[in-house]
Amino acid sequence: MSSIQISNLRKTYGQFAAVDGFSLEIPAGSVFGLLGPNGAGKTTVFKCMLGLARATGGSVLYDGKPLVPETFESIAYVPERSVLYEWMTVAEHVEMNRRAFKAFDPARALELLAQFNIQPAKRSRALSKGMRTAVMVALAFARNAPILVLDEPTSGLDPINQRHVLSLIINEAARGNSVLFSSHQIGQVERAAERIAVMDRGRLVLEGLVDDLKSDRKIVEGIFPNVTYTLNGIANDPRVLRADRSERIVRLLVRSDADNIATMLSSAGATGVRVVDLNLEDIFLFAVSPADATADVIAKGSS
């Protein structure tokens, strides 16, 4: 069981801050999904965590200790792109891992490769993008490492193998191992992760247990009879996290007491007011986008 503490992590390239004051604590034995739009800094966070890139500031601790080469006996990493040697066979990659890591289980690796329908005698260059990802995933899961860091581990995989990778992730958590993974497939994250963190432009914008985030937040939606209407200060209510308007439709992201807010919206003249449960995709989109494409954000205080 290993935990990871990331404190105030910062990585800059010239004037550009790829990661800016990112802090996160990943409890031991949890599956943690890291979400964010392209360029949010997820991969950079992984690289800084693993010492692949030197952080400009901040610290990363594994069970309270800084990263040293020996720590990698406990960390398995799947990068977002293939790092396999094109000229080597899959079996040679298995052997490479066997020599490098004490806890690596070659039999388990071959078993996983068989499950992904990959022949060990094949050279990497003969594998498709998805198969290369599968090889890297198989090698990582055969490591028996207490911490798995997976950067888009389902990239390029077909739906069957994507489901298989998710099952592997969940199994690792059941064995008490920590998994930190990123994915653009929010449905997968929702299925596998118990906690999520959302990054945007190098910063952490949301973090918590998936169930809590979903139960805490609701959308209150209503339709006004005219395009010109006022919300009577509802958008300024501290329970309202955000208010979006699209023509006559108003959507309010509400942290708590959604029924009360719905009553207030009805009182303001809205009809068909309803309270909608959020899924993870809604939570993600509200966290990272200023507004959905068809809506204007109602600036809080102007309503």
Partner 1 sequence: MTYVEWLRVGRCLKCTAWVLGVLLLLTVVAEYTVLNLGSHSSLSEVELHTSSGDISAAQVFKGGTPVHSTLPDGTARTTIVNATEGVRVTIDDHGYWGKHIEIFERSVSRPSKLIGFGPLTFQRVAVPGGSKVAVDTNKPEDFAYYAAIATFLALIVATVLGAPFARQNDGHLEIALTNPAPRTTLGLGAMIADVTGIAAAWLMTVAALFIAHVVQYAPNYTYGTRDTEVIALGFAGLLAWYAMLCAATASMRRAYGVVLGISWPVASLVAVLAKANFGDSPMAQLVRWGVTPLSWIDPFNYLHFGPAFTVNGAPAGSLAVSLQRELPALLILALVYVALAIVQWRRVEA
Contact footprint for partner 1 (CB under 8 A): 47, 50-54, 69-73, 75, 77, 79, 81-83, 85, 87-88, 92, 95-96, 99-101
Are 8 and 57 spatial neighbours (Cβ–Cβ below 8 Å)? Answer: yes
Minimal distance in Å, beta carbon 72 to partner 1?
Answer: 4
Q: Which is nearer to partner 1, 145 or 254 (CB)?
A: 145
Are 91 and 121 spatial neighbours (Cβ–Cβ below 8 Å)? Answer: yes
Residue 121 neighbours by CB under 8 Å, 6+ apart: 89, 90, 91
Q: Which is nearer to partner 1, 71 or 144 (CB)?
A: 71
- Which residues pair with residue 192 across a beta bridge? none
- Which residues pair with residue 182 across a beta bridge? 34, 151
Minimal distance in Å, beta carbon 145 to partner 1?
Answer: 10
Are 99 and 130 spatial neighbours (Cβ–Cβ below 8 Å)? Answer: no
What's the number of CA atoms in the CB half-sphere (13 Å) around residue 131?
Answer: 16
Minimal distance in Å, beta carbon 132 to partner 1?
Answer: 12
Which uninterrupted H or E stretch holds 299? Answer: none
Q: Which is nearer to partner 1, 23 or 71 (CB)?
A: 71
Are 197 and 204 spatial neighbours (Cβ–Cβ below 8 Å)? Answer: yes
Minimal distance in Å, beta carbon 97 to partner 1?
Answer: 9
Are 276 and 219 spatial neighbours (Cβ–Cβ below 8 Å)? Answer: yes
Minimal distance in Å, beta carbon 81 to partner 1?
Answer: 8
Q: Which is nearer to partner 1, 82 or 162 (CB)?
A: 82
Query: Can you tell me which residue has the tokens 């029924």?
Result: 259
Q: Which is nearer to partner 1, 27 or 51 (CB)?
A: 51
Q: Which is nearer to partner 1, 75 or 196 (CB)?
A: 75
Q: Which is nearer to partner 1, 87 or 225 (CB)?
A: 87
Minimal distance in Å, beta carbon 101 to partner 1?
Answer: 7
Minimal distance in Å, beta carbon 47 to partner 1?
Answer: 6
Alpha helices in the chain (DSSP H): 42-49, 90-100, 106-115, 129-141, 159-174, 186-192, 210-216, 258-267, 280-288
